[in-house]
Amino acid sequence: MRNSIVTIILAATLACLIPSCDIKKEESGSTHGAAQIAVDESFNMIIDQEVQVFEFTYPNASILPHYVSEAEAIDSLISSDMKLIIIPHELSEKQVEYIRQTKGTCKTQRIAVDAIALIVNPANALDSISVEQLADILAGRKALWNQIGGQSPDSVNVIFDYASSSTAKYMRDTLLAGGKFLSERVFAQNSVPEVIAGVENSTTAIGVVSATWLRADMAGSAGKKGNVKVLKVYHDGDARAFKPYQEYIYTAEYPLFRNVYAIAATSGSNVAHGFYSFLTGPVGQKLILQTGILPSVIHPRAVELTTHPAE
């Protein structure tokens, strides 16, 4: 089902976006050859689509993404011949300086703003949760659903993809000031699909995933319908709670969001640099817009309004 969604998006993008952007298949190293890139595994859904459109546009180019942890992606850029990585934060000044000394250059460009979504089983009565309640759960201060507005006296089970994933790190850094999860009911699965499956099969679980894995209408996970429920999130004292729609990511009313960066250790005429330019260009940004999260660059559209006299 996921492949069919990607195919539909690919066809729609090529039909509607490429002609309007006047893409030219230039005969250069940036559109010929093969490149391996390292990508934070949270962004599998985004980068798969970007790669398919890039390779369709430039048939002589091949991109092989390796979906790894954030730490593994950074290590590959520093310690190997990897030229491009996609991760949810910028490198430290020390890391940038080291890469510049060893590889000659290090360029960073924000390509998107992602949201961290909280998903539960549709049978769960809870519709919203505050950032502070979530922090209490992760810190072990609260443990039961009926302590956070739910109806069940059962324990809240929080599930991530990996213990070392960037989503888990985001929650530790944002909600616990970099501290450890103290709740005994925090679990790691082996992938985002397993997190989603865990929520489908349990009414006591909260899954923590990138919003790119969800349907644009927030009615379920990508490629499926109604199999999970996306919680609204708010801060204590707020009048409203919000789902991670693009509008609320843009206005920062949805409180759990993070930047996504492309980091390139190359400035030459090679396909890794070509893909870096594609991600940050108009077509790459429009593809991100279609995934449901926020592109770094929002291209305005001119709409002409005409007034017709009343009949």
Question: What stretch of H or E contains 232?
Answer: strand 232-234
Asked if residue 129 lies in contact with residue 149, where contact means CB atoms within 8 angstroms, the answer is yes
- For residue 8, is pLDDT > 70? no
130-139 tens-digit pLDDT: 999 999 999 9
**Are the C-beta atoms of 48 and 223 separated by less than 8 Å?**
no
* β partners of residue 234: 130
- CA–CA separation, 84 and 66 (whole Å): 11
> Do the beta carbons of residue 9 and residue 38 sit within 8 Å?
no
The pLDDT of residue 166 is above 90: yes
Whether the predicted pLDDT of 305 surpasses 90:
no
Say what the pLDDT of residue 26 is.
42
Please say if the pLDDT value at position 311 is more than 50. no
Q: What pLDDT does 19 receive?
A: 41
pLDDT at residue 310, rounded to an integer: 52
Write the pLDDT tens digit of every residue in 257-299. 999 999 999 987 899 999 999 999 999 999 999 888 999 987 5
Convert the pLDDT of each residue in 77-135 to its tens digit: 999 889 999 999 999 999 999 999 999 999 999 999 999 999 999 999 999 999 999 99
What per-residue string of b and e applies to 271-293 under the rule 16 or more CB within 10 Å gives b? bbbbbbebbbebbbbbbbbbbbb
| C-alpha–C-alpha distance, residues 87 and 282, integer Å | 20
Query: For the structural domain made of 2-113+258-295, what CATH number should be given?
Result: 3.40.190.10
Q: What is the mean pLDDT of the chain?
A: 87
Is 2-113+258-295's fold the same as 114-257's? yes
**How much is the pLDDT for 56?**
97
- Please list, in sequence order, all residues whose beta carbon lies within 8 angstroms of the beta carbon of residue 158, skipping any fewer than 6 positions away: 137, 138, 181, 183, 185, 186, 187, 205, 206, 208
The per-residue pLDDT for 65 is 97
- Look at residue 22 in the predicted model and tell me its pLDDT: 43
Continuous segment of H or E residues that includes residue 188:
strand 186-188
Q: What is the pLDDT of residue 301?
A: 46
Among residues 197, 135, 185, the alpha carbon closest in space to that of 155 is found at 185
Residue 286, amino acid: K
Amino acid at 25: K
Extract the tokens encoding 133: 């309640």
Domain layout of the chain by residue ranges: 2-113+258-295, 114-257
- Residue 130 neighbours by CB under 8 Å, 6+ apart: 233, 234, 235, 236, 238, 241
May I ask the CATH architecture of the domain 114-257? 3-Layer(aba) Sandwich (3.40)
Residue 307, token pair as written in the block: 């007034």
Considering only residues 23 and 77, tell me which one the structure prediction assigns the higher pLDDT: 77
Of 174, 243, 254, the closest CA to residue 214 belongs to 243
pLDDT attached to residue 307: 55
This model's pTM is above 0.95: no
What integer is the mean pLDDT of 54-74? Answer: 96
